[in-house]
């Protein structure tokens, strides 16, 4: 009996003393697989799990009483309220923009489409601090519209509107960037079929387009919410760090830390950590539900 190269089969096997064996193709890479897994786990432990655990350890360093006392501070509640208000405004606004931009880019051909896609990606390329400076340049006292806003007693910079605008700027690509590739891949056949059957534009959108992208849309909303509540750089520039007025939760953590109030700083920071963990759990649940739905669709009706 001969091997593929024409040599006798006994030459293509290794003698172990009992029976001829052939080494599997994956046995040589098992050590590499274990090495990569070990490096990945070690890196995650060092860079992610250890710092996250340190936040909670420092937060409870003086006991649960001191931990919960940090949240009885009126400045802490003011920061929490402003953070939630900012997210409550920024997320729906970016949801509407993301849906509109994605639908236009994926379903229609128009002049300037490439420019619109580039502008959507702009916040990814611009540092958050620069984003805040842009708003100071436009709406600040010495900015382009500063004098006009002052004439009507409207304050944007160092006020809540500036915090909301800066947050909207840094978060608006997330939903659009989740939807555009999916809508482009799906094409327009289903929408055209719905229109040919008599559906109008809104009916087509709500009954055909939206159900096809619901999981990607939810995923984008989760990412946008997490970033809106955790944004620091752009908000730091436009807020003025006015305690009790324009400080969000991340800015309040910085203020407490600079005052050497470490227990309170880490206690409030643990709130952001829990939001991050909740975001991760929601992200995992959405991905699991999406995969389950795709698997059920692939199996078809029983």
Instruction: Return the HEC string of the chain.
Output: CECCCCCEHHHCCEECCCCEECCCCCHHHHHHHHHHHHHHHHHHHHHHHHHHHHHHHHHCCCCHHHHHHHHHCHHHHHHHHHHHHHHHHHHHHHHHHHHHHHHHHHHCCCCCHHHHHHHHCHHHHCCHHHHHHHHHHHHCCCCCCHHHHHHCCCCCCCCHHHHHHHHHHHHCHHHHHHHHHHHHHHCCHHHHHHHHCCCCHHHHHHHHHHHHCHHHHHHHHHHHHHHHHHCCHHHHHHHCCCCCCCCCHHHHHHHHHHCCCHHHHHHHHHHHHHHHHHHHHHHHHHHHHHHHHHHHHHHCCC
Name the percent of the chain lying above pLDDT 90: 39
Q: Which two tokens stand for residue 189?
A: 């056949």
pLDDT digits (tens, 9 = 90+) for 58-82: 999 899 998 999 898 999 999 999 9
> 15 falls in which pLDDT band (50, 70, 90)?
very low
Whether this model's pTM surpasses 0.85: no
The pLDDT tens digits for 85-98 are 999 999 999 999 99
Query: What residue segments make up the domains of the chain, in order of their start?
Result: 21-59, 64-299
pLDDT at residue 301, as a whole number:
61
State the number of CA atoms in the 13 A half-sphere of 271 facing the CB.
22
- Domain 64-299 -> CATH class: mainly alpha
CA angle 167, 173, 174 (to 5 degrees): 90
Per residue in 117-139, pLDDT (tens digit) is 888 988 988 888 998 999 999 99
Pair 129, 233: CB distance under 8 Å: yes
């Amino acid at each position: 009996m001969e091997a593929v190269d024409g040599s006798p089969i006994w030459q293509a096997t290794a003698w172990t003393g009992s029976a001829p064996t052939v080494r599997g193709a994956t046995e040589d890479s098992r050590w590499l697989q274990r090495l990569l897994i070990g490096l990945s786990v070690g890196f995650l432990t060092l860079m992610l799990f250890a710092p996250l655990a340190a936040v909670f350890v420092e937060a409870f360093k003086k006991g649960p009483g001191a931990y919960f006392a940090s949240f009885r501070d009126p400045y802490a509640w003011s920061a929490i309220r402003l953070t939630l208000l900012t997210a409550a405004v920024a997320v729906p606004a970016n949801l509407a923009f993301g849906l509109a931009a994605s639908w236009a880019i994926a379903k229609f051909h128009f002049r300037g489409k490439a420019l619109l896609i580039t502008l959507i990606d702009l916040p990814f390329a611009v540092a958050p601090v620069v984003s805040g400076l842009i708003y100071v340049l436009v709406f600040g006292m010495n900015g382009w519209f500063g004098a006009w806003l002052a004439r009507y007693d409207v304050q944007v910079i160092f006020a809540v509107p500036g915090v909301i605008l800066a947050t909207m700027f840094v978060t608006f690509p997330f939903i659009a960037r989740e939807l555009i590739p999916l809508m482009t891949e799906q094409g327009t056949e289903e929408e055209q079929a719905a229109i040919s059957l008599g559906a109008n534009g809104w009916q087509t959108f709500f009954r055909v387009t939206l159900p096809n992208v619901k999981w990607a849309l939810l995923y984008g909303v989760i990412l946008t919410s997490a970033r809106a509540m955790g944004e620091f750089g752009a908000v730091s520039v436009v807020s003025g760090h006015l305690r009790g007025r324009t400080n969000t939760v991340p800015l309040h953590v910085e203020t407490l830390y600079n005052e050497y109030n470490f227990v309170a700083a880490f206690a409030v920071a643990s709130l952001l950590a829990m939001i991050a963990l909740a975001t991760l759990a929601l992200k995992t649940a959405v991905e699991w539900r999406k995969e389950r739905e795709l698997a059920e669709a692939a199996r078809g009706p029983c």
